[in-house]
């Protein structure tokens, strides 16, 4: 089983609503990552996100780029400073490949919690970075790969 942890794309610095949407760069980052994932043959049924505009828009672009039939869902507990243990427990009960789109520092801490059981960040996640975690037969989460938009020519 694979879990794909994604930090949302670059967002505008301010928005009247306070809920910052993606910038033009953020949309390009998300589209390039969607192209990469499609080319890599990533197949998932669901993308979950925090509900914040920048995470929702990133999830929508990834959904469109992979397969328009992917289910989008808002999960509570994915905001920047939420505790990671409840989401980690939920992911451990999940039986199918899943993508999670969220924010820092939450996403980096979630990776740490899944991989080694602590809540320290173990990854540097730039905007729209994706890390793929694999759950081994022994139930341990392993980092299988990590991709940044800059490695794909997005700047």
> What digits encode the pLDDT tens for the residues 5-47?
999 999 998 776 668 899 999 999 999 999 999 999 999 999 9
Q: Mean pLDDT, the chain, as a whole number?
A: 92
Instruction: CATH number for 2-152: choose from 3.30.420.40, 3.40.50.1370, 3.40.50.1240, 3.40.1190.20.
Output: 3.40.50.1240
In the structure, what pLDDT confidence band is assigned to residue 155 with cuts at 50, 70 and 90? low
The mean per-residue pLDDT over the stretch 42-59 comes to: 96
For the chain, the structural domain boundaries read 2-152
Q: What is the pLDDT of residues 72-103, one digit of tens each?
A: 999 999 999 999 999 999 998 888 999 999 99
The whole-angstrom separation of Cα 50 and Cα 52 is 6
Cα pseudo-dihedral 136, 137, 139, 141, rounded to 10: 0
How much is the pTM? 0.94
């Amino acid at each position: 089983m694979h879990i794909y942890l994604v930090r949302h794309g670059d967002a505008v610095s301010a928005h009247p609503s306070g809920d910052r949407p993606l910038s033009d760069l953020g949309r390009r980052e998300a589209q390039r990552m969607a192209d990469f994932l499609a080319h890599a043959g990533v197949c998932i049924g669901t993308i979950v996100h925090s509900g914040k505009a920048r995470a929702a828009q990133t999830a929508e672009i990834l959904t469109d780029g992979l397969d328009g039939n992917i289910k989008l869902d808002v999960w509570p507990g994915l905001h920047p400073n939420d505790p990671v243990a409840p989401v980690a427990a939920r992911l451990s009960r999940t039986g199918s490949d899943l993508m999670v789109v969220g924010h820092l520092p939450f996403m980096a801490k979630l990776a740490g919690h899944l991989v080694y059981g602590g809540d320290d960040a173990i990854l540097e996640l730039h905007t729209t970075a994706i890390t793929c975690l694999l759950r081994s037969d022994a139930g341990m989460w392993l980092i299988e790969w990590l991709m940044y938009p800059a490695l794909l020519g997005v700047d």
